[in-house]
């Protein structure tokens, strides 16, 4: 009899644990954090808003490392578990203009040992909605990596908020896409050049010029993806948007495109020299330079179909890059 009772208790316990696990495993698809909005603390501008119930998903401005924001969060608690305590924590730094992280919007909701100056707040798992505002600063420099005097810039997916269950299991989170001023400059310049490229395709610009334009843009994307945003910006700045050669006037190609090729050539040599300076620190440096050589060889082949002078100029530069890496 006692054995049956013990088995019954164990079965009930397993069912209870399974039920709690099923509740705690609701992931970041809007089942816990059902909506949030981000405002810039300094400008008061609405940066982004997401509402998983209505489908609203709008981004109005970029989020920058070093800037301060107000994130207003609404959490849906699907079921009451009287003994369960949930924790909402932030990885943001303290905002310079405020003495607290949190401000309760649902004042009647049962919070536990509430201290707005702490990086977390705890509240009982009671069915309903809980809304709170978070004030904080995205850490400066999280988009940068400094290696031997060279600064790499990469966008970061920054976990700003985490909602955790009674056993410290992750229930939901808010991840922000963070950039810096250099990345923003590159992205704006890239959009400008890509828009111009589309206009070129519609307006009868010489096909050879369009192809070279595309290849320079692609090369800039490769560099930006590796963190060399300054190089990507320099590459895009070489692309002239004024009076590109038309398909029916091939004689203008050399006069109009040689300045662009000259600028690209100087930047390409700079890439090789700069990367070789950190040869001992970056294991992938030689691979990057070799990729630059291969891409330049592709440009040489395409340029040869437009003008031999441009092709020879690019080939001389390619040979200099090869000598730098000993190819």
CA–CA gap between residue 208 and residue 254 (Å, rounded): 11
Segment 49-75 mean pLDDT: 97
Say which residues have a Cβ less than 8 Å from residue 128's Cβ, sequence separation at least 6.
77, 109
Contact 78, 23 (CB under 8 A): yes
b/e map of 288-326 (b: 16 or more CB within 10 Å)?
A: bbeebbebbeebbebbeebbeebbebbeebbeebbebbe
CA–CA gap between residue 57 and residue 79 (Å, rounded): 26
Q: Quick one: tokens of 113?
A: 């040992």
Predicted confidence at residue 234, as pLDDT, reads: 86
pLDDT category of residue 209 using cuts at 50, 70 and 90: confident
First to last CA, the chain: 83
In degrees, rounded to 5, the angle at the alpha carbon of residue 60 between the alpha carbons of residues 59 and 65 is 85
Flag whether pLDDT at 28 surpasses 60: no
Predicted confidence at residue 238, as pLDDT, reads: 80
CA–CA gap between residue 269 and residue 322 (Å, rounded): 10
Predicted confidence at residue 37, as pLDDT, reads: 98
What is the reported pTM?
A: 0.72
Phi-psi map region of 25: left, alpha, beta (phi>0 left; psi -120 to 50 alpha): alpha
Predicted confidence at residue 26, as pLDDT, reads: 38
Q: To which residue do tokens 């397993």 refer? A: 14
pLDDT category of residue 122 using cuts at 50, 70 and 90: very high
Per residue in 274-327, pLDDT (tens digit) is 554 544 444 444 565 566 666 667 666 665 665 555 556 556 656 655 665 566
Phi, psi (5° rounding) for residue 306? -100, -50
Contact 191, 241 (CB under 8 A): no
CATH ID of 27-179, from 1.10.3930, 2.60.40, 3.40.720, 2.60.120: 2.60.40
Segment 192-208 mean pLDDT: 88
Predicted confidence at residue 298, as pLDDT, reads: 67
Q: What is the mean pLDDT of the chain?
A: 80
Q: Which part of the chain has CATH 2.60.40?
A: 27-179
Predicted confidence at residue 182, as pLDDT, reads: 97
Neighbouring CB atoms inside 10 A of 266's CB total 13
Flag whether pLDDT at 30 surpasses 50: no
SS (HEC) of the chain: CHHHHHHHHHHHHHHHHHHHHHHHCCCCCCCCEEEEEEEECCCCCEEEEEECCCCEEEECCCEECCCEEEEEEEEEECCCEEEEEEEEEECCECCCCCCCCEEECCCCCCEECCCCCCCEEEEEECCEEEEEEEEEECCCCCCEEEECCEEEECCEEEEEEEEECCCCCEEEEEEEEEECHHHHHHHHHHHHHHHHHHHHHHCCECHHHHHHHHHHHHHHHHHHHCCCHHHHHHHHHCCCCCCCCECCCCCHHHHHHHHHHHHHHHHHHHHHHHHHHCCCCCCCHHHHHHHHHHHHHHHHHHHHCCCHHHHHHHHHHHHHHHHHHCC
């Amino acid at each position: 009899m006692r054995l049956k009772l013990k088995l019954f208790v164990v079965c009930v316990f397993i069912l209870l644990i399974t039920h709690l696990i099923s509740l705690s495993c609701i992931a970041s698809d809007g089942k816990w954090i059902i909506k949030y909005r981000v405002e810039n603390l300094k400008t008061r501008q609405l940066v982004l808003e997401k509402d998983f119930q209505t489908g609203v998903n709008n981004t109005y401005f970029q989020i920058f490392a070093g800037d301060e924001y107000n994130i207003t969060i609404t959490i849906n608690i699907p079921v009451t578990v009287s003994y369960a305590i949930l924790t909402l924590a932030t990885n943001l730094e303290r905002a310079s203009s405020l003495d607290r992280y949190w401000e309760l919007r649902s004042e009647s909701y049962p919070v536990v040992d509430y201290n707005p100056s702490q990086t977390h707040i705890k509240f009982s798992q009671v069915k309903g909605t809980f809304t709170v505002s978070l004030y904080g600063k995205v850490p400066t420099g999280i988009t940068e990596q400094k290696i031997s005097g060279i600064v790499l810039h990469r966008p970061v997916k920054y976990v700003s908020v985490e909602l955790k269950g009674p056993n410290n299991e992750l229930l939901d989170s808010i991840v922000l896409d963070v950039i810096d001023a250099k990345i923003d400059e590159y992205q704006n310049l890239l959009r400008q050049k890509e828009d111009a490229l589309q206009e070129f395709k519609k307006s009868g610009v010489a096909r050879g010029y369009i192809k070279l334009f595309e290849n320079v843009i692609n090369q800039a994307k490769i560099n930006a993806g590796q963190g060399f945003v300054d190089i990507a910006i320099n590459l895009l700045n070489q692309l002239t948007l004024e009076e590109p050669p038309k398909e029916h006037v091939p004689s203008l190609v050399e006069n109009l495109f040689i300045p662009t090729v000259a600028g690209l050539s100087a930047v390409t040599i700079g890439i090789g020299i700069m990367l070789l300076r950190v040869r001992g620190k970056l294991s992938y440096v030689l691979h990057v330079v070799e990729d630059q050589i291969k891409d330049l060889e592709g440009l040489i082949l395409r340029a040869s179909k437009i003008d031999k002078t441009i092709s020879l100029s690019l080939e001389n530069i390619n040979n200099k890059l090869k000598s730098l890496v000993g190819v």
